[in-house]
Amino acid sequence: MPGTILVLNGPNLNLLGTREPDIYGSDTLDEIAGRLEDRARELGVEIDMRQSNHEGHLVDWLHEAQANGAKAVLLNAGALTHTSVALHDAILAIRVPVIEVHLSNPHARERFRHKSYVAMAAKGTVAGFGAASYLLALEAAATL
């Protein structure tokens, strides 16, 4: 639907809440989606939250955001953040603003997480606030 904010989640984020709560928090992705839905209702925006373990699905959904006239995309590309030129190119290929989201702060972690192909193409990044990163990114997206 035109004006929707797409919330895209990459590999392994379906496992949230089951392991590594010290790094990623104890909320499941469904719980985060619920909180985003509540806040979206208050802000008067529509969200559509998805998750895939496959890079191509994320590329297709970015293209779909453009084709359907989405307002913005919140993208937590998981580990693909640090490897995917395809996602970088897809973000540059669309005019819809993309906000990079991370639960953890990749810059405070291993060196291989310091490079982000998503950040180089995104409008901005919210990272390090756990589930609240998504809510802060939604606030930003709603004002665009």
For this structure, is 24 an active site residue? yes
Listed in sequence order, the residues at least 6 apart from 19 whose beta carbon sits closer than 8 Å to its beta carbon are none
Q: How far apart are CA 133 and CA 136, in angstroms?
A: 5
Q: Which is nearer to ligand CA2, 5 or 103 (CB)?
A: 103
Q: Which is nearer to ligand CA2, 18 or 41 (CB)?
A: 18
Q: Which is nearer to ligand CA2, 64 or 130 (CB)?
A: 130
Interface residues with ligand CA2 (CB under 6 A) are: 12-13, 15-16, 18-20, 24, 76, 78-79, 81, 102-104, 106, 113
Minimum CB distance to ligand CA2, residue 3 (Å): 26
Minimum CB distance to ligand CA2, residue 131 (Å): 10
Catalytic residues: 24, 102
